[in-house]
């Protein structure tokens, strides 16, 4: 009888895995540790202190940039998830036809195109719109982030739809449910974990975007990542570590909450 293949049984798997985890998490652990450094150096430990967390909390520029980042990421994630859900339904709840693969590739194009190309394209388009309308608010950043985040939200939603059994939706149709009733009472509840995954992924991608934001934003519209980039060009202090640590904690909290929500729904 042939033995089943298991990558974990291969020689050196444990060693390679430990090295990968070490290289991945050591820089993050170092960042977190030095966020509590009492001194001004990011390389020399001078004692434990919450000094830089207090300084970041009292920095009005950090607060404004953080609020702006959350506002943009929230709006972009919601819009991207709505668009991605509709696109996923349109490309999975239909019979295969010529051009369907091309549509799938078109939706996922931002994942394959270098981000700098997308940023320059959005800059050119929005610059003409700004001249024509005179509007220079946060709407451009929200639209830019939405366009970039759609494929990130699309992938988990499409994967969830492809894994769903069509028998329940077919049964709803047999019981004279309209398409909207079948979607609201059958498809949507089953699809909800995929929607949450897409929403979370789009939010995180938007929250830490730098390239597109740098090209599209107007004066006074710094997000937290672009603010941190500007500060790193001037002086590097553990305040940047403290800010990064807070956002790391928020990201972990979001992932943890999503995990328990999705597990509860699957049960």
Q: What would the 3-class secondary structure string for the chain be?
A: CCCCCCHHHCCCHHHHHHHHHHHHHHHHHHHHHHCCECCCCCCCCCCECCHHHHHHHCCHHHHHHHHHHHHHHHHHHHHHHHHHHHHHHHHHCCCCCCCHHHHHHHHCHHHHCCHHHHHHHHHHHHHHHHHHHCCCCCHHHHHHHHHHHHHHHHHHHHHHHHHCCCHHHHHHHHCCCCHHHHHHHHHHHHHHHHHHHHHHHHHHHHHCCCHHHHHHCCCCCCCHHHHHHHHHHHCCCHHHHHHHHHHHHHHHHHHHHHHHHHHHHHC
pLDDT-derived band of residue 72, with 50, 70 and 90 as boundaries?
very high
pLDDT tens across 119-145, in order? 999 999 998 998 888 888 888 999 999
pLDDT-derived band of residue 239, with 50, 70 and 90 as boundaries?
confident
pLDDT-derived band of residue 258, with 50, 70 and 90 as boundaries?
confident
Q: How far is CA 26 from CA 22, 55, 84, in A?
A: 6, 25, 35
pLDDT-derived band of residue 267, with 50, 70 and 90 as boundaries?
low
Tell me which of 265 and 32 has the higher pLDDT. Answer: 32
Of the candidates 141, 143, 266, the one whose C-alpha atom is nearest the C-alpha of residue 213 is 141
Which range, 76-90, 96-110, 193-207, has the best average confidence (pLDDT)? Answer: 76-90
Of the candidates 247, 196, 218, the one whose C-alpha atom is nearest the C-alpha of residue 62 is 247
Burial class, 16, CB count within 10 angstroms (exposed 0-12 / middle 13-18 / buried 19+): exposed
Largest CA distance in the chain: 73
Does the pLDDT at position 62 exceed 90?
no
Does the pLDDT at position 151 exceed 80?
yes
Tell me which of 177 and 50 has the higher pLDDT. Answer: 50
Domain ranges of the chain: 8-49, 60-266
Percent of the chain with pLDDT over 90: 14
> In the CATH scheme, what architecture does the domain 60-266 have?
Orthogonal Bundle (1.10)
**Site of tokens 């492809």:** 162
pLDDT tens across 15-42, in order? 888 899 888 888 888 888 888 988 887 7
Q: Which residues contact 154 (CB under 8 A, 6 or more apart)?
A: 84, 87, 88, 107, 108, 198
pLDDT-derived band of residue 265, with 50, 70 and 90 as boundaries?
low
């Amino acid at each position: 009888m042939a033995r089943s293949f298991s990558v974990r049984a291969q020689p050196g798997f444990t060693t390679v895995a430990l090295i990968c985890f070490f290289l991945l998490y050591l820089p993050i652990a170092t960042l977190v540790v030095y966020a509590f450094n009492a001194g001004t150096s990011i390389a020399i430990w001078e004692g434990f202190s919450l000094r830089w967390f207090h300084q970041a909390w009292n920095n009005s520029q950090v607060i404004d940039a953080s609020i702006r980042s959350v506002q943009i990421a929230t709006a972009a994630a919601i819009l991207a998830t709505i668009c991605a859900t509709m696109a996923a339904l349109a490309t999975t709840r239909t019979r295969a036809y010529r051009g369907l693969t091309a549509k799938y590739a078109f939706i996922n194009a931002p994942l394959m195109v270098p981000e700098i190309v997308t940023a320059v394209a959005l800059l050119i388009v929005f610059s003409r719109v700004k001249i024509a309308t005179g509007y220079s608010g946060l709407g451009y950043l929200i639209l830019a982030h939405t366009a970039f985040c759609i494929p990130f939200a699309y992938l988990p939603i499409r994967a969830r739809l492809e894994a769903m059994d069509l028998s329940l939706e077919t049964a709803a149709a047999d019981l004279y449910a309209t398409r909207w009733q079948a979607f609201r009472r059958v498809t949507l509840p089953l699809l909800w974990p995929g929607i949450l995954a897409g929403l979370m992924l789009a939010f995180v991608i938007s929250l830490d975007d730098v390239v597109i934001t740098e090209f599209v934003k107007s004066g006074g519209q710094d997000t937290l990542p672009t603010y941190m980039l500007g500060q790193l060009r001037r002086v590097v202090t553990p305040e940047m570590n403290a800010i990064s640590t807070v956002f790391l904690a928020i990201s972990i909290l979001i992932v943890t909450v999503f995990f328990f929500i999705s597990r509860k729904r699957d049960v």
